[in-house]
Structure 1
Amino acid sequence: MKDKPLVSVILPTYNGAECIAEAIQSVLDQTYPNIELIVVDDGSTDGTKAIVESFSDKGVQFVAKPKNSGIADSLNVGILQAKGQYFARMDDDDVCMPERLMAQVEFLEQHPDVVVCATNDQNKGGDRPYLTDTELKIGLLFRNVIIHASVMMPMEVIKKYMYTVDMVPSEDYDLWSRLLNEGKFYKLEAPLMFIRYSADGQTATRRHEQLHLNVGIFKRIARCYGFNWDEAYESAVFKYIGHDYSMPAYTLLKLIEWFEQLLTQNNIKGMFPKSTFENELRYQENTFVTKYFYNRTLKDKIMPFIKLPLRLKLQVVKFYLNKHNA
């Protein structure tokens, strides 16, 4: 079985003592037989080092950085040391299902045109599958729809692109935006990860910074697909990305206008299948608009509602009727 491709699992950690033993054990318990696990410690001040070193007899490699320099740098350190044919992500507070790596290697071996293979997550569902290349790449135009810690990629691809250190905490969204023309993306439908979502995690605590970074990534993705970026919509799009429901009626209408421009451009240029693109666009638009009204006081709902297009008025009414009948 050792003749199977070597998978390098890179696990960056910072003060991860509470959960890291479970994370490491879930990698060691994989049904896939040929792996190396590289744990890169970003200057932890808790008991992380001792916990990792207790696994050293099982082939876990421990790399201690001299100072804290962030997750993207830790990933790059691990990638440069890796010897595998495939790169797999792992976080210090998550858990892999035993068959995760086997499923991803088998998929990538059968689909050499795929450069990003993610999986679903047992802890957080949703009503949008985002499985195929088309679904994922349309989804990425509106938000990051790929679970970073679930990803496996060909090592030659990640070593070519690496992580951009100054894009943390959007280092993953930035990476996907630079890989769009490198190959296909895919997400395995099976929930092969258990992800812990923490309110005090890096993404949560650095949310405002992330939003500023995401606007630039957003522009890059839109232009990569062939959409024209109009600066007149930037303020509305920024609030949309940040789930900011405080925008006045005028800004909401600019956002709706931006959605329509995307739809028109796609219909003309044919970047994506028309029905698939419109379905996702309407989902994103409807979701934002209904949450916009739900999060506003009654007096602040009147003027925006009056100005809404009829189809969105009906959507808002439907939302409240469903909520009342629930």
Structure 2
Amino acid sequence: MPKVSVLMPCFNGSKYILKAIDSVLSQSFSDFELLIFDDQSTDGTFEIVSKLTDSRIKVFRNARNLGLVGNWNNAIEKSSGEYIHFLFQDDILLPGALESEVAALDANPKCSLCFSASCVIDSNDAITMKRRPFKRDRVLKGSDFARKTFRTHNIYGEPSNVMFRRDYWQKVGPFNDSLCYSPDWEYWIRLSLNGDVCYLDSFYSYFRVCNESTTNSLFKDKKEQLKRDEFDFVRAICSLDGINISSTDLIVRKLSLSIRNIAKRIYFSVH
């Protein structure tokens, strides 16, 4: 059993997927498996990845299209590592990421997950935003951090920026496939309510936002769907044991969401 399962769900990712794969294979930490799950791509993605010969890579092609979250859950079920780390088809794992995240979780057995500082990049790998929520490495009390991130924004970042323990996945269950835009955020909160959180103050992932990226296609021009997803997300979080959302939390979240939606529209209009 490998120490880490790096999971790469993909759909029509031919443009950037080899760069994403190379960023995993070049990691200093080598005790991992890289499992690629093609969700019935039509752009040659499966043909590209099926030619790879590295023994650490296993390629799967789903019998039918499972959708974004369905493919995530399918990937976890087929993995075997003690720790799980997603990497999306158009993102990049920076040098030292796996080694540092494994060391952090090994040193802090009560932590359910680990995340780091990260950068947003464009189609040419140019950095368009740096995200560094804290100024030093730290361990955060999970329940307090879960409430903080609910009130403000997804401080953890995208799946490509998080490593979590398999045994906690067995505790909290699969990603919520009823959520279109925030299943990862809801999942990080669930994990945090069951353990503490490690933060590493180094940049260990690049998250790509461009016309071809999954995130851009999800968020552009879908205002009504975003509203429905926000309602479903809040309802899911409020139903969780241990978070105790108050009316003040909901007011702060609404104000924060309004500000971030304005910033997001400006960002996508530029990029």
Partner of 1:104: 101
Instruction: Return the match for 2:140 from 133, 140, 143.
Output: 133
The one-letter amino acid paired with 1:169 is Y
Deviation sequence 1:138-170 (CA, Å, 0-9, x none): 133221111221111111112332212221221
Letter in 2 for 1:65: N
Relative to structure 1, the CA distance from residue 237 to residue 183 in structure 2 (aligned partners, 3 Å threshold; closer, same or farther) is closer
Cα gap change, 1:20/1:157 in structure 2, threshold over 3 Å: closer, same or farther?
same
Deviation of 1:119 (Å): 1.7
Which of residues 238, 241, 248 in structure 1 aligns to 2:257?
241
Measure how far apart 1:214 and its partner are: 2.9
Quote the Cα distance in structure 1 between the aligned partners of 2:80 and 2:260.
Answer: 44
| Partner residue of 2:170 out of 147, 159, 162 | 159
Higher deviation after alignment, 102-111 or 5-14: 5-14
Once superposed, what is the RMSD of the aligned Cα atoms? Answer: 2.9
Do 1:16 and 1:92's aligned partners in 2 also have CA atoms closer than 8 Å?
A: yes
SS in 2 for 1:143: coil
CA drift at 1:228: 2.5
1:180 is displaced (CA, Å) by 3.2
Unaligned runs of 5+ in 1: 246-287, 292-326
Give yes or no for the alignment of 1:18 onto 2:15.
yes
CA distance in 1: counterparts of 2:217 and 2:28, whole angstroms: 36
Q: Using structure 2 for the length normalisation, give the TM-score.
A: 0.78
Matched position secondary structure for 2:13: coil
Q: Is the 8 A contact 2:209 2:215 kept in 1?
A: no
Q: 2:152 is matched with which residue?
A: 142
Which structure's CA Rg is the greater one? 1
The Cα of 1:8 is off from its aligned counterpart by 0.5
Unaligned runs of 5+ residues in structure 2 are 121-128, 264-271
Question: Cα offset for 1:175?
Answer: 0.7
8 Å Cα contact 2:4/2:33 also seen in 1: yes
* Structure 1 residue 222: Cα displacement: 5.9
Report sequence identity in percent: 22
Name the structure 1 match of 2:110: 113
Read off the aligned partner of 1:229 and give its amino acid letter: S
What is aligned with 2:230?
Answer: 214
Taking a change above 3 Å as real, the CA distance of residues 98 and 38 of structure 1, as seen in their structure-2 partners, is same
Q: Could you list the per-position Cα deviations for residues 275-305 of structure 1 after superposition, in whole angstroms to 9, with x for gaps in the alignment?
A: xxxxxxxxxxxxx9xx8xxxxxxxxxxxxxx
Cα 1:8–1:133 shift into 2, 3 Å? same
C-alpha distance in structure 2 between counterparts of 1:141 and 1:64, whole Å: 38
| Residue pair 2:90, 2:213 contacting (<8 A) in 1 also | no
Aligned partners of 1:215 and 1:238 also within 8 Å: no
Q: Give the AA of the match of 2:59.
A: F
Q: Quick one: higher RCO (CA 8 Å, sep 6+), 1 or 2?
A: 2
Per-residue CA deviations over 1:181-213 (Å, capped at 9, x if unaligned) read: 200122211101122122554444433324432
Q: Which amino acid aligns with 1:241?
A: L
Higher helix share: 1
Q: Give the TM-score taking structure 1 as reference length.
A: 0.66
1:177–1:220 contact (8 Å) kept in structure 2 = no
Per the TM alignment, residue 71 of structure 1 is displaced from its structure 2 partner at its CA by 1.8
Number of corresponding residues: 242
Matches within 5 A, 1:194-213: 194-199=206-211, 201-207=213-219, 208=223, 209-213=225-229
State the Cα distance separating 1:229 from its structure 2 match: 3.3
